[in-house]
Structure formats: structure tokens, C-alpha cells
């Protein structure tokens, strides 16, 4: 299935049905009177967060969604039926924005969450509604109200505990394939990964979700290469795993290139906890390995991990470090939720 993380769609709620002008006229009934029913309400447009979806591909082939109109009122005091609603099913992590692409309408983060996007128009009153003590035979009825219409933008930000970042060919997809059951495309050329991927890591009796995004290159914040648009998929991560290719010319410069693009992107990504690791160490001799680790330590200002996803060397140590930060973040989030419950 093709990955799609952004879509612009048109929605319109249903118009309300018109009220009815009708009079009761039956044989052997001396006094008739108005009996026109009210019109039905138009259908609403809802967004619902559902399980089992991880892309917005459904909205590539259909961009217009219109709820049904309410039925008109009828004689014998029969009210019109309500119009059918439209429900937009979206994956967890979808943000719903106004047409400008900046104003946030809703953030769909939990399965089962529902948000009303456009309310259907009210049905019009029939002439029976206008009967008074002085006006016994009203000949008026209201038309139904019009529904609401708008363009909205759906933007998916994957929900994962940890995110992989680095230059193209840094070994991110190989690492994802090694520690999860995911099967990303792996090849010996840059930009093998064109779309974000997710995998579930099972380590030390626990699980967490790991996200892999296409590699960043110098100038990504200005649109060079695939740009930095996929960085939105690691915005929700609790920790970043920054992989640096050990076979690159200078590990320190490679690290600084990616950090510069992350800082230029903003959205608090540069402030997230980061674990730095030198990858592909199985392809290095001892002297080169020491030199690259020293360069990376000076650039990152921390002691980097050394790993080889191909041989498995150093992988468990990195997973332990990730789990440690993820657990701390989860404990802190629970503490914040508890404080909010006590002090709403």
C-alpha cells in the first residue's frame, strides 16, 4: 500500500429538509386544521480515529465528502427523516487543519476519538408548528437551513516511541529490519527509503514502536533531496536514535549536517533526548573505528554507541538505552496526567 501522509479534502454537511404546508381534510371530521410536519435535519460530517490504518491513501482517490440532506416534512404531522452522516476514518496521529494548513481543528491521537467537523442544517418547521389561538390555519412553513461547507487538510504524524534519523545510507532501514519484523527496502544506494516505516521492537521483555524516516541531506530544510517534511513523523517520539555511517568520510561532519537540519526544522525536535550511534562498525578496522568514534564524540559532545545491525554487535546496548529513556518519559507523562486530574 502506498504511503500518503497529507491530503486536502472538501466536506459539506447536509441541508435541512423543508417544512410542509398541509391541512387535514377527512370525511365525517367536522374540524380539520393544519397538519404539516417539520423537515428533518441534514447529516453531519464527523472524523473518527480507527484502528488498522497507517496511511491517508483513501483520501487520494476521493476528495469530496457530502452528507445527505434531511427529508422534507409531510402531511398528517409526519416529520422528515434526518440525513445520513458522513464519517471520515483516519489513523491515529492524524491532525485536522483548516484550509490554511496552520489552524489546528483537532488532533486525533486515540482510537475511538470522534470530532464533529460540519454540523447539518436544521429542518424547517411545518405549518402545524405555527398554529396559535388566533391563527388557526397558518399557511406558512420554513425552508431548511443550509449545511456547512469547508476545505480541510489532513496531516498524518506517525505515533512512535523512538525515531531513527541520519543521512541517507546510514543503516537506518537495516537497523529497523534487524530489531523488528518490518521489511523495509534495503540497498547500497542513497534514498532507498522513500516513505516512513514503523516496526515494533521486542526487547528485554518489553515492547516499543520504532519509526524510520527517509534520510536527510545538507539543505533539506530548504527542500534539497526529499526535504524535511518527513521529520513531522518523529515529532511525537520520546527519543531520537541518530545513526551515523561509520564508513563515511568524517563521522563528526555527518552528525553535524543532520543536527543542523533538525534545528532548522524546529517544532521542538532539537530538544528531544538523543542517542548517538556509529553504525556499520563491522566494515571498519580497529584504528578507523577509534578515529571515527573520537570524531563523533567531539561533534555530539557525548559518548556514542557503536553498533553493527548486520552482525548484531552493540544492538542490544542501544535498545537498552532507548528503553531507559522511553520508560522515564512514560513515568513523567503519567505523573503529569495525575497532577492534571487532581488540579484540573
Which of 99, 125, 156 is where one domain is finished?
156
Residue 247 known to bind ligand: no
If asked whether residues 140 and 166 sit together in one domain, one would say no
Q: 214-232 burial, b if ≥16 CB within 10 A, otherwise e?
A: bbbbbebbeeebbbbebbb
Establish whether 169 is an annotated binding residue.
yes
Residue 191 is labelled as binding a ligand: yes
Q: Is 58 annotated as a binding residue?
A: no
311 is in an annotated binding site: no
157 is in an annotated binding site: no
Q: Do residue 177 and residue 76 come from a single domain?
A: no
Q: Report pLDDT for 177.
A: 87
Here the CATH number for the domain that contains residue 296 is: 3.40.50.300
Is 66 inside a domain boundary? yes
Domain shared by 187 and 289, yes or no: yes
76 is in an annotated binding site: no
Tell me the three cell numbers of residue 195: 516513505
Q: Judge whether 166 is annotated as a binding position.
A: yes
185, 318: one domain = yes
**193 assigned binding-site residue:** yes
**147 and 286 share a domain?**
no
Mean pLDDT by 10 residues, the chain (344 residues): 81 96 84 91 96 86 95 94 96 92 91 95 95 91 95 90 88 87 67 74 85 79 67 87 91 92 87 92 90 92 91 90 89 79 65
264 and 127 share a domain? no
Query: Which among 156, 189, 209 is the end of a domain?
Result: 156
**Domain identity same for 150 and 263:** no
Is 85 annotated in some ligand binding site?
no
Q: Is residue 1 part of a domain?
A: no
- State yes or no: 213 annotated in a binding site: yes
161 is in an annotated binding site: no
For residue 61, is it within any domain? yes
**Is the residue at 87 inside a domain?**
yes
Domain containing 132 — which CATH number? 2.70.210.12
- Is 167 in the same domain as 293? yes
5 annotated as belonging to a binding site for a ligand: no
Query: Does residue 15 form part of some domain?
Result: yes
Residues 201, 123: one domain? no
Annotated binding residue 308: yes
According to the annotation, is 282 in a ligand binding site? yes
How many separate domains does the chain show?
2
Task: State yes or no: 214 annotated in a binding site.
Answer: yes
Are residues 128 and 224 both part of a single domain? no
Any known ligand binding at 190? no
Whether residues 110 and 208 share a domain: the answer is no
Say if residues 35 and 24 touch (Cβ distance below 8 Å).
Answer: yes
Same domain, yes or no, for 187 and 85? no
Last residue of a domain, one of 156, 186, 221: 156
49 lies in some domain: yes
135 is known to lie in a ligand binding site: no
**Is 146 within a domain?**
yes
- The answer to the question of residue 116 being in a domain is yes
Domain hosting 181: range is 162-342
Amino acid at each position: 500500500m502506498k504511503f500518503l501522509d497529507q491530503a486536502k479534502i472538501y466536506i459539506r454537511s447536509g441541508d435541512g429538509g423543508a417544512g410542509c404546508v398541509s391541512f387535514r381534510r377527512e370525511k365525517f371530521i367536522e374540524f380539520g386544521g393544519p397538519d404539516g410536519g417539520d423537515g428533518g435535519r441534514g447529516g453531519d460530517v464527523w472524523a473518527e480515529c480507527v484502528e488498522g490504518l497507517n496511511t491517508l491513501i483513501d483520501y487520494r482517490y476521493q476528495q469530496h465528502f457530502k452528507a445527505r440532506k434531511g427529508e422534507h416534512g409531510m402531511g398528517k404531522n409526519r416529520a422528515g427523516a434526518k440525513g445520513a452522516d458522513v464519517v471520515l476514518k483516519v489513523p491515529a496521529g492524524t491532525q485536522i487543519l483548516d484550509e490554511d494548513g496552520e489552524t489546528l481543528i483537532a488532533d486525533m491521537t486515540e482510537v475511538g476519538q470522534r470530532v464533529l467537523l460540519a454540523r447539518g442544517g436544521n429542518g424547517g418547521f411545518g405549518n402545524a408548528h405555527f398554529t396559535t389561538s388566533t391563527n388557526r390555519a397558518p399557511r406558512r412553513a420554513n425552508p431548511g437551513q443550509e449545511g456547512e461547507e469547508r476545505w480541510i487538510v489532513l496531516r498524518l504524524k506517525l505515533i512512535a516511541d523512538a525515531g531513527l534519523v541520519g543521512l541517507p545510507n546510514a543503516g537506518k532501514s537495516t537497523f529497523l529490519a534487524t530489531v523488528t519484523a518490518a521489511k523495509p527496502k534495503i540497498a547500497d544506494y542513497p534514498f532507498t527509503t522513500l516513505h516512513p516505516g514503523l516496526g515494533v521492537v521486542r526487547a528485554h521483555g518489553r515492547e516499543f514502536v520504532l519509526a524510520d524516516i527517509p534520510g536527510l541531506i545538507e539543505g533539506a530544510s530548504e527542500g534539497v533531496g526529499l526535504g524535511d517534511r518527513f521529520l513531522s513523523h518523529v515529532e511525537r517520539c520520546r527519543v531520537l536514535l541518530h545513526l551515523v555511517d561509520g564508513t563515511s568520510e568524517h563521522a563528526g561532519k555527518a552528525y553535524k549536517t543532520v543536527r543542523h537540519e533538525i534545528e532548522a526544522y524546529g517544532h521542538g525536535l532539537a530538544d528531544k533526548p538523543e542517542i548517538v550511534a556509529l553504525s556499520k562498525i563491522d566494515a571498519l578496522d580497529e584504528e578507523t573505528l577509534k578515529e571515527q568514534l573520537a570524531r563523533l564524540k567531539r561533534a555530539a559532545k557525548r559518548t556514542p554507541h557503536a553498533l553493527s545491525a548486520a552482525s548484531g554487535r552493540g544492538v542490544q546496548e542501544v535498545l537498552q538505552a532507548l528503553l531507559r529513556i522511553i520508560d522515564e518519559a512514560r513515568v513523567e507523562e503519567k505523573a503529569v496526567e495525575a497532577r492534571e486530574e487532581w488540579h484540573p
